[in-house]
Structure 1
Amino acid sequence: MEHIIERLGHHGDGIAPGPVFAPRTLPGERIEGEAENGRIDAPRILAPSPDRVTPPCRHYRACGGCALQHASDGFVADWKVGVVRHALSAQGIETEVGGPDTSPANSRRRATLSGRRTKKGALIGFHGRASGVISEIDGCTLLHPAILAGMPAFQALVVAGGSRKGEMAITVTHSTAGLDVTVRGGKPLDGPLRIQLSGLAGQHDLARLVWEDDVIVEIRPPVQVFGPASVIPPAGAFLQATVEGEAALTRAVLRAVGDAKRVADLFAGCGTFALPLARKAEVHAVESVAEMLAAMDRGWRHAKGLKQLSHATRDLFRRPLLPDELAKFDAVVIDPPRAGAEAQTAEIARAEVPVVAAVSCNPVTFARDAKILTDAGYRLDWVQVVDQFRWSPHVEVAARFSRGHIPGS
């Protein structure tokens, strides 16, 4: 049966009337295939789109790590901007949408790989699409070269600490000192295994190795640089996916905040935005994970030329900052998880903070929270799209909201 793809859904699948979903298809394409439960898993392309290209990665069909390598860069860029515009339009909001600022190939500095012991050694990679099968990723076009070079280390760790029955999760981050590796799902840690793992970390020159929650060895501090400060994040702590993406978001936040002298940074993490902001403003950082704030604080104390940076551990979903607490700030930076920050945004609106710099990894919840602010009298001045998850349907945004006339706006 033939179908015509009309548009892409939020997960990057093509959608034909019905609706019928077909992965790795593009708008305007004529395809063939039998739909099962509204989905064609292996569509045959009868008439390709002019935006269709040859995927650059040889693992594309087996691996689930990328969904849009069959589309031209120009198409993906326009589509991601369109996703943001559509989300805002659904809330009745129109504004300037710029970008996207796209990270280059082989720039992903953080990933969670799957690992499983085999008869011959170990299998390391990403899961296939909607599959429990692990696809090897040698020559991956997404990951940073340093992570790809660490594959022998990951295989050795799985052989030493894995079982044939279970799957392991290997979270690896490229730091200035080398690879920072956290492993979960392996054998329980005992004395002999600890000695073996420590030896493997030294043999493969890992900066830090953590097994579940136990630090096996830290040969060199796995430093990340946030503006003027060097920070050693806790194992497995949140980090922007690429250096280029982090830089784009930081530029947007600094542009949005402008000359504000007192700034609150909410969902601050390890100081991605707070530390660069502290060059010109007094910053109060709020985050629910105390270890991340402690890492930020150490980085601030060792940096030079920064203004006051205070912090508080607080669950902003359960206890958002209230208007009387927000009244002393000239600007608020807010970077919540995918669920957004509906309750906290409502309190910011009530407080009438002059400027809000919003960062989001979910255009739908961003638009929902933007509606709260615009209904309260804020103007959405601009939105910048940032694409640091290249070839995926994932979209990030940074935006500026303001009330009245703000100097420098």
Structure 2
Amino acid sequence: MSITITRLGHQGDGIAEGPVFVPRALPGEIVDGTIQGDTLVKPKIVTPSEHRVKAPCPVYNTCGGCSVQHASDSFVAEWKTGIVRAALEARGLDAPIRTLHTSPTRSRRRAKFSGKRTKTGAIVGFHGRGATQIADADRCLVVTPSMAALVDPLRELTVRLGSRKAEVGFQVTELENGFDLAIDGAKTPTPQETMDLMIWARDNRVIRLSVNGELIGQEAVPTLGPLLPPPGAFLQATAHGEAALMACVSETLGNAKTVVDLFAGCGTFSLPAARKADVHVVEGDRDLTAAAETAWRQGQGLHHMTFETRDLFRRPLIADELNRFDAAIIDPPRAGAEAQTAEILISTLPKIAAVSCNPVTFARDAEALIHAGYRLNWVDVVDQFRWSHHVEIAASFSRD
């Protein structure tokens, strides 16, 4: 049967009346196929959208990593901006969106690959859409060229450490001086295999290697700008996206002399902020807090910083603690910062630089702040995960 796509969902699927979900379809398109449940399977585009383009990636049809590569850049930009606008408007809030920052192709410096042995060797890449098969990533247009070149050596590791029944996971981060590689789901290496792994790591610019949560070896201190991230640490996906977020945070902080960084990670925003202000770092993961402190002690030209490991979901900073600061940086995980926001509402904190990876929880927390007297001055949308449905937000709040 034929159906007409009326809109694009938050996961990148086309949606027709019903609703019926159609993978890789665009609004306005007429699509043929068979409906199974709420999904049109094996869709055939009868009338294509003017925004449809030929996907540039050679494995797009089998890889599940990109959901909207078949749409023009201008369409994707408007769609991602619209996701943020819709989340705010659903809460009755104006959406003062200034701009969209889109990271270029081949710029992702952090990725999780899957590896599986085959009869003739191994395959390493990303899972296909809703499938167990893996699409090779050596020609990926999202990750950096250096990371794409690492895929072939990772196939060698998959043969060494993987089994025919299970997959091996490779968390790869490209740093300034090499790769940080954390492997999971692998066979425990023998002492001889460990020595061989270190030779492999040296040959492939892997400066830190962990297997199943255990550090196997480290050739050098991994660095990324002022950061000294621990193994597997969360980092912004692209240098471009990180720079856009940092510029937004800096703009909001202005001339603040004392800053608190909530959900600080290993110091992505707090270390740059310390160039102009005293900063108190609060993070729930002890290893990340320690990494931020070490980076500060080894850094130059930074103001005074203090560090606190604290679960902000269970024990947020209370209003009296927040009142000591001129501004706050807040970058919570996808669940948002509901408990911490409740304390901010009753504080005298004048400025908030907010970063979020979830428009829905951002809008929820923004609504609470605005009802408490804060102004949402502006919102920037940051697209680090090109061609995916993911979107990030940087925003500025203030009150007199």
TM-score bracket, normalised by the shorter chain, equals: over 0.9
CA distance in 2, matches of 1:402, 1:154: 48
1:325 paired to 2:321: yes
Q: CA-to-partner distance for each residue in 1:241-265, whole Å, 9 max, x for gaps?
A: 0000000000001111111111110
State the match for 1:296 in structure 2. 292
Q: Is the deviation greater in 54-63 or in 344-353?
A: 344-353
Could you say what secondary structure the match of 1:351 adopts?
coil
CA distance in 2, matches of 1:75, 1:42: 24
8 Å CA contact 1:81–1:98 kept in 2: the answer is no
Q: Is the deviation greater in 168-177 or in 199-208?
A: 199-208
State the match for 1:358 in structure 2. 354
Alignment of 1:185-264 (within 5 A): 185-225=185-225, 229=226, 231-264=227-260
State the match for 1:62 in structure 2. 62
Q: CA-to-partner distance for each residue in 1:121-169, whole Å, 9 max, x for gaps?
A: 2110000001111111221110111111112321122111111111111
CA distance in 2, matches of 1:300, 1:138: 37
CA distance in 1, matches of 2:399, 2:74: 35
8 Å CA contact 2:355–2:395 kept in 1: the answer is yes
State the match for 1:347 in structure 2. 343
Residue of 380, 403, 406 corresponding to 2:399:
403
Could you say what secondary structure the match of 2:42 adopts?
coil
Amino acid at match of 1:366: F
Could you say what secondary structure the match of 1:42 adopts?
strand
TM-score by length of 1: 0.96
Residue of 274, 279, 289 corresponding to 2:275:
279
Q: CA-to-partner distance for each residue in 1:25-61, whole Å, 9 max, x for gaps?
A: 1111111111111101321111111111110101111
Could you say what secondary structure the match of 1:6 adopts?
strand
CA distance in 1, matches of 2:364, 2:332: 13
TM-score by length of 2: 0.98
Amino acid at match of 2:318: L
State the match for 1:407 in structure 2. none
Alignment of 1:113-152 (within 5 A): 113-152=113-152
Aligned-residue Cα RMSD (Å) equals: 1.0
Could you say what secondary structure the match of 1:224 adopts?
coil
State the match for 1:101 in structure 2. 101
State the match for 2:380 in structure 1. 384
Could you say what secondary structure the match of 1:43 adopts?
strand
Could you say what secondary structure the match of 1:270 adopts?
coil
Q: Is the deviation greater in 380-389 or in 349-358?
A: 349-358
8 Å CA contact 2:116–2:124 kept in 1: the answer is yes
Alpha-carbon offset, residue 116 of structure 1: 1.0
CA distance in 1, matches of 2:218, 2:137: 27
Structure 1 segments, 4+ long, off by >6 Å, are: none
Structure 2: where are the runs of 5+ without partners? Answer: none
Amino acid at match of 2:337: A
CA distance in 2, matches of 1:202, 1:326: 46
CA distance in 1, matches of 2:325, 2:201: 46
8 Å CA contact 1:176–1:222 kept in 2: the answer is yes
8 Å CA contact 2:257–2:326 kept in 1: the answer is yes
Structure 1: where are the runs of 5+ without partners? Answer: 405-409
- Number of residue-to-residue matches in the alignment: 400
State the match for 2:304 in structure 1. 308
Alpha-carbon offset, residue 276 of structure 1: 0.6
Amino acid at match of 1:310: T
